[in-house]
Each structure stands twice: as structure tokens, then as C-alpha cells.
Structure 1
Amino acid sequence: MTKTKQPLVSICIPTYNGEAFIAEAMQSAIAQTYPNLEIIVSDDASKDNTISIIKSFKAQTKIPIHIYNHEPNGIGANWNHSVRKANGAYIKFLFQDDALTPDCITKMMPLAIQPNVGLVYSKRDFIYETLTPKIKDFIAYYGNAHTTWQDVKVTPGILSGRAYLKDRQLLNSPKNKIGEPTNVLLNKSCFENVGYFNEVLQQALDSDYWYRVMAYYDVGFVDASLARFRLHDKQASSVNKKREIPDKDLMYKQYYTHIFKYLHPKNKRKLLKLYHPLFKTLAQIKQRFNGR
């Protein structure tokens, strides 16, 4: 298939003071074997050399590199801004600290172009300078998130998104069983039909979005490590469940509002007790009674 017949994929790179690793990320973007690409950079007013480093790559590739300034308003707003500026039919996120394997998009696209597929994900590897105990714990807990489903048997290929939502482990940790945005390729129609990332959420905006997409689309899985996610101690120190607490209530409210009818009965009961007025009252009465 020629370049003109292959859909345009936008590699979206939200940035902010990313000079330490942005060159590695950009190199992995221009090294992609998929032939029809553009690179969209949305920068949150970086004060370092991030933009000058990115501009230096324009002489190294024929891939169009578009750089847009964005008024800082949280990470979700920057993610969304990069998508709104994208011209492609597909969105491939790449974060400034991370990297893609050269065949990442080439291997994801055969699944992505299938009817009703909204999201494609894969395994991923980790980048770190030293394997500290915190990073080791992080990898042990989150490294194979795609295997933490109970009812869904994740195999290479395509599965109904609603089958994932029906899994009884959906609300259990790790909450994000798909992976970080660098690990995901999206059909841009998702943003038209599902909406954009929730800009109020601080940490769980990616998994919240994956699960909203699943209510309407099928999901593809590639059984290969196609992305590399960078870890450092400060990040990995949040390995335990406390990592998810700041967003937990709002995230569960999102699930109650947007995907409730697709969930396993066990998870429906949990959300009803939290947010349905009658069930919430009954649960509080039962708790007081048992506490006597």
C-alpha cells in the first residue's frame, strides 16, 4: 500500500520543560517505519531548550513537525490541545520522557483500521538509569497490567470494548490495565464521539478515557513491546494504591455516569452504594448497624 493510501497518523507530543529526554523521544518518532506521519507538539510554555531541540529535528526528516504553544492549564488540557491540532485520522501519543520502537505504528495500524476499532494497545518496556527498589516494585506491580483482567483473556487481535468493561476486576488495582498514553493508538473519531480527556482528573485521566472509549468501540491488542515508558524514583514512589486516591472518587463518578450499564454486577453494586441516593442511604444504615 502506498503512502497516499495509508491513513495519516498524528504523533502527538505534549511537552513541558522536557529537554532531558525529548531528543530521544523525537528520534523514536522520526524513526517510525510507517510512511504517512505528522508530528504535533503542544508545548506548555517550556522555559528550557525543549522547543529548540524539537526544531533541530526538522532538518533530519521529511515528516512534518508542527509546534503549537499552549497556555498551561493542567496536563489533560495539553493532551487535548495536541489532539485538536492533529490532522491525522489516527492519534499516536508519545510523551516527552518516553520512546517508541521503530515498528510501533506499523504493527498497530493493521488492527486500528479494522471496523469499529477505537483503541489499540500493546505491551511496553521501561527505561530507567538504575533499578532502585522503588522502580523494581513499580515494574512488578504495573509491568504486566494487561494480564490483570479476570474474565477477559487478552490475546493478540480484537475484542469488544464492552467485554473489557464487563470484567469483574475493572475497578480493582491496578486501575489502568491498558497502559500509559505512549502505549496507545486511537482512532480520532473517538474524540468526536466520546469526547476528550477529563481535564479535572490529575492522574487517572488516561484510564478513565480508555474505559469511556470501550463503551463504544472495539479494542486491539498487539502482543509485543512497542513503547518504552521512563521511570524514576519520584514517579515510582507512588507505586502503592495511594497513587490512585486523589482521583478515585471523581473517577468512580465518571464510571457511574458514563459506563455503568456495561459493568459487571459486582461493580454495579459498588457504584450504586457510593452514588445512588437510595442505595447509598441503605449502605450507610447497614454500616451504622454493624458498627454497634
Structure 2
Amino acid sequence: MNPLVSILIPTHNRPEYFELALASALMQTYPNIEIVVGDNSTNNLTEQIVAKHRSHPRGSVIRYYHHSGNIGPIANQQQLLNLANGEYINYLNDDDLFHPRKIEIMMRHILSHTNVVLVTSQRRVIDSKGKRIFVPPIGTFKVLRPVDTVIDGGVLTRDMLQDRTNYIGEPTTALFRRRDLTEPFGVLAGKQVLFAVDMASWFSLMTRGHAIYLVQPLSYLRFHPEQLSQSKYAQKIAEMDYKVFERFAKLRGFA
């Protein structure tokens, strides 16, 4: 039987983008999924979208939670992970999209390697209208390997630490085995990261195994002005995170 994969969608006041993200999750060709939505919205527009999509042939796989107040993006991600039933996890940011075969392809690869804890891939960047951006405004989109490759977890961690670059990608990009993430999402060696939350968990996972990098683009990162990463405070918070990463590097012998 195909293991259950939990697709976790944290969302906040982006009903138009959320509906597209949810549709891309429902269109997955992998047969055994659940979709868990954590809604921080201040209105019921997202809830209405979920209700509409329950008539989809796979609508019964959606589990929806509307928080009584905005608990913030990190707490939302962490609560979703606690609510998930799946043996494997893939976050889906509410403004991003999945390729229809993303989960199917990634699960085939991770199940064929006992020492792999995470699968990532190339991704495409799209704008607010869904049009592809060919020159990404951020510099993390280089092709890591020319072919599908198993990358040693320590090697990948060292490269990411030294280059200060998230080569694995955003939460949407990577699928991972849940049991190998031993701390809450975004916590690294006991320290909560505030901005590069995904990097913290990728580092944690890489201490327990290797990653597979796939050259086929399997997700779509939407770049738009409303992203938290575009905040004027983002860079300052990111610098605080790197102090946590430097501490981790010393603990693990990477510094």
C-alpha cells in the first residue's frame, strides 16, 4: 500500500492564491494523500473555498482548521505538523503550486533509498499572475546537479552553511519523512529560527540522512510583494537566524 502523504497548507488572508494552491494539491496523481489546512485568516473566505472544493472527487481528504485568532506563520506550520497523520510530509505555501505529479515522483524516489530522508527538485518562479519569471529575483535557483542525484546530507549542509543559501528550497519544494524531523518545524538544536524556518528543519533532517535532488521542476514558487520575505525587516531577522546556524555549525563540526 502507498504510504500516506500529508500536504500541509498554512494560509492567511490569501483566498485567491489559496484556491489555486488547494486545486494543485487535489490534482496530485499520488493516490494516498491528506490535505490539512491551517487558516489564520481574519475572515471566512478561505473556509468558503474549502467548502466549495469538498465536492471535488477527492474533497474528502481535506481537513480544515480555522484558528480563533492569528497564531502566526511559525505556530501555524508547527501545529499543522502535529495534526498530520502522514508518514511523509510536504508543505504547500498558500501562494505556491505543485506540479500534478510532484508527490508521485518524489515518493517513488524516497521509497527506493533507505538512507534518504528528503527529496527536493528544481522549481519554477512565477509572478502574481502565474506567469513564469525567467530571471528569478533571488539567487537560489541554480541547478545543483545535471542529473537526479543522491546528495550526502553532510555535504549539502556544509554547502548551505558556507554559502548562506537554501539550496533545498522553500517548504513547498521538499518532501520529507516525518519521523526523521525530531524537533518542531523551524527549531534547530533547541533554538527557534524566526525567518529561515525551512532551512532550520532541512539542516536538522540532513543530520539523519541524505537528500535526493531531482532536475525536473516539480513546484512553482510565486514571487510577489505581499510575501513575508519581501518585508523590510526580513534581512534583519535573517541575520539573527544565521547566529543560530553558526552555533549549529560549530556543534556539528562544520565551522
Establish whether TM, by shorter chain, passes 0.5. yes
More deviation, 217-226/251-260: 251-260
1:20 to 2, 7, 16: 16
Question: Please, what TM-score do these two structures have when normalized by structure 1?
Answer: 0.75
**CA contact under 8 A between 1:122 and 1:223: conserved in structure 2?**
yes
| Greater helix share, structure number | 1
What's the Cα RMSD here? 2.9
| Aligned-partner Cα distance in 2 for 1:256–1:225 | 33
Answer yes or no: is 1:78 the counterpart of 2:70.
no
Which residue number in structure 2 is paired with residue 64 of structure 1?
61
Q: How many residues align?
A: 248
Cα deviation, residue 145, structure 1: 4.4
Question: Please, what TM-score do these two structures have when normalized by structure 2?
Answer: 0.85
Cα deviation, residue 141, structure 1: 3.5
Matching residue's letter, 2:224: H
Cα deviation, residue 243, structure 1: 4.5
| Aligned-partner Cα distance in 2 for 1:85–1:117 | 24
Answer yes or no: is 1:204 the counterpart of 2:196.
yes
For 1:1-292, what aligned pairs fall within 5 Å after superposition? 5-62=1-58, 63-70=60-67, 71-113=69-111, 114-129=113-128, 139-142=136-139, 144-145=141-142, 147=144, 155-167=147-159, 170-173=161-164, 175-191=165-181, 193-198=182-187, 200-233=192-225, 235=227, 238=230, 243-257=234-248, 260-263=251-254, 268=255
User: Percent identity at matched positions?
Assistant: 28
**CA contact under 8 A between 1:107 and 1:222: conserved in structure 2?**
no
**Pair 211,31 (structure 1): closer, same or farther in 2 beyond 3 Å:** same
Which runs of 5 or more residues in structure 1 are unaligned? 148-152, 269-292
**Greater gyration radius:** 1
| Aligned-partner Cα distance in 2 for 1:226–1:204 | 21
| Aligned-partner Cα distance in 2 for 1:136–1:34 | 29
Partner deviation per Cα, 1:217-276 (whole Å, 9 max, x = no partner): 211111111001111145498499x8433132343224414763241xxxx1xxxxxxxx
Partner deviation per Cα, 1:102-140 (whole Å, 9 max, x = no partner): 010111112222213221111111221479xxx776x15
